[in-house]
A = this chain, B = another copy of it.
């Protein structure tokens, strides 16, 4: 879950040197190109990166999706052809980036985090998605091939909604929207888990409950770190003066901005709930300790004096007049019973029983 900062292997290299940093995946690099305008739609899987280049100058919108970042030479060629700054290429390959937008003269570079939820171990996996938004193209870079974008492809294929009527900035917005919608899904899943723990806490708090609370709190902290910069990203895009962002798209970015705020809100709510739950757990532990102590105290307080009395008459002194009394034994029992009754009444008064 933790951001692995294995950035050190780059230490000392000249800036702009392309090195793959981040968790390696064994997947091969796969390039898909979707080229469209209102009337046309074409989808191709490309094997040679140079086949992509002709699309650049066509008047249609082109979406180039590259999944798998292990093949550095492909990234390098794209960089050279689309005139992308070496530092941007470096950031694409280093998947430890925070979400951000960098504006350049003829393209925008957007870093996002795509989250996947693993229900088995309640774990959140992150994948970095880099977007290059140019005048009539969008290039997206994914670490592995997963289908969060499938629904957008479907919309493009079937010409649903306004997507094929709009410019490349709307496509970039759609991709970001797709990723952020997925955050809601993850929050729901976590919400369910939090509710489960909450019930467990009320019914039967166990040692592992606290560990679960701490674990999920850690996940929320992690989620929060992915979400906070997101707000800034969307806000920067919204307010960008780049000619690449059209006025019609701004209203959609506004909507996206509202979504990021909602996500942050939910994250904060869960964090607050989890803190409350951890507090409740601790006080339920100390309450239980209190109860254990009371039981011990009651038992000990009643029987220790009684045992003392029995001990007295177990002594072997030759001259112990009580031992010879006819009703001595009965008397001892009377003392014992009244003493313990008095104590029980006392404890009841103190509300220990």
Binding site for B on A (CB under 8 A): 2-8, 10-17, 85, 87, 90-91, 96-98, 100, 102, 150-152, 154-155, 160-163, 174, 177-178, 181-182, 184-185, 187-188, 191, 204, 207, 210-211, 214, 217-218, 221-222, 225, 251-252, 254-255, 258, 261-262, 265-266, 269, 272-273, 276, 278-283, 285-290, 292-297, 299-301, 303-308, 310-320, 322-329, 332, 351-352
CB of A266 within 8 A of CB of B87, answer no
Number of copies: 5
**What would be 20 A-B contacts, judged by CB atoms less than 8 Å apart?**
A5-B187, A5-B262, A11-B181, A11-B185, A13-B151, A14-B162, A15-B161, A87-B252, A207-B287, A217-B276, A221-B272, A281-B283, A286-B286, A286-B289, A292-B297, A293-B297, A315-B316, A316-B320, A316-B323, A319-B325
CB of B319 within 8 A of CB of A326, answer yes
Bound complex: CA A96 to CA B181 (Å)? 14
Bound complex: CA A65 to CA B183 (Å)? 34
Residues of chain B within 8 A (CB-CB) of A3 are 265-266, 269
Bound complex: CA A317 to CA B287 (Å)? 44
Bound complex: CA A90 to CA B252 (Å)? 12
In the complex, which of the residues B218, B258, B328 contacts A98, with contact meaning CB atoms closer than 8 Å?
A: B258
CB of B303 within 8 A of CB of A329, answer no
In the assembled complex, the CB of A38 is this many whole angstroms from the nearest CB of chain B, namely 15
CB of A324 within 8 A of CB of B318, answer yes
Residues of chain B within 8 A (CB-CB) of A287 are 207, 210, 285
Residues of chain B within 8 A (CB-CB) of A100 are 258
In the complex, which of the residues B17, B292, B315 contacts A329, with contact meaning CB atoms closer than 8 Å?
A: B315
Residues of chain B within 8 A (CB-CB) of A296 are 293, 296-297, 300-301
In the assembled complex, the CB of A208 is this many whole angstroms from the nearest CB of chain B, namely 11
Bound complex: CA A4 to CA B191 (Å)? 9
Residues of chain B within 8 A (CB-CB) of A178 are 11-12
In the complex, the 8 A-B pairs of residues with the closest C-beta atoms, listed nearest first: A14-B161, A12-B151, A310-B311, A313-B315, A11-B181, A8-B185, A296-B297, A314-B314
In the complex, which of the residues B85, B269, B278 contacts A251, with contact meaning CB atoms closer than 8 Å?
A: B85
Known: A218-B276, A258-B100, A296-B300. Contact between A2 and B315, CB under 8 A? Answer: no
CB of B318 within 8 A of CB of A316, answer no
In the complex, which of the residues B87, B303, B315 contacts A304, with contact meaning CB atoms closer than 8 Å?
A: B303
Residues of chain B within 8 A (CB-CB) of A323 are 316-318
13 extra interface residue pairs, beta carbon distance < 8 Å, beyond A12-B150, A14-B162, A91-B258 = A2-B273, A11-B181, A14-B161, A87-B254, A97-B262, A98-B258, A100-B258, A214-B276, A295-B301, A303-B307, A310-B312, A316-B320, A319-B328
Residues of chain B within 8 A (CB-CB) of A218 are 272-273, 276
In the complex, residue of chain B having the shortest beta-carbon distance to the beta carbon of A149: B12
Residues of chain B within 8 A (CB-CB) of A90 are 255
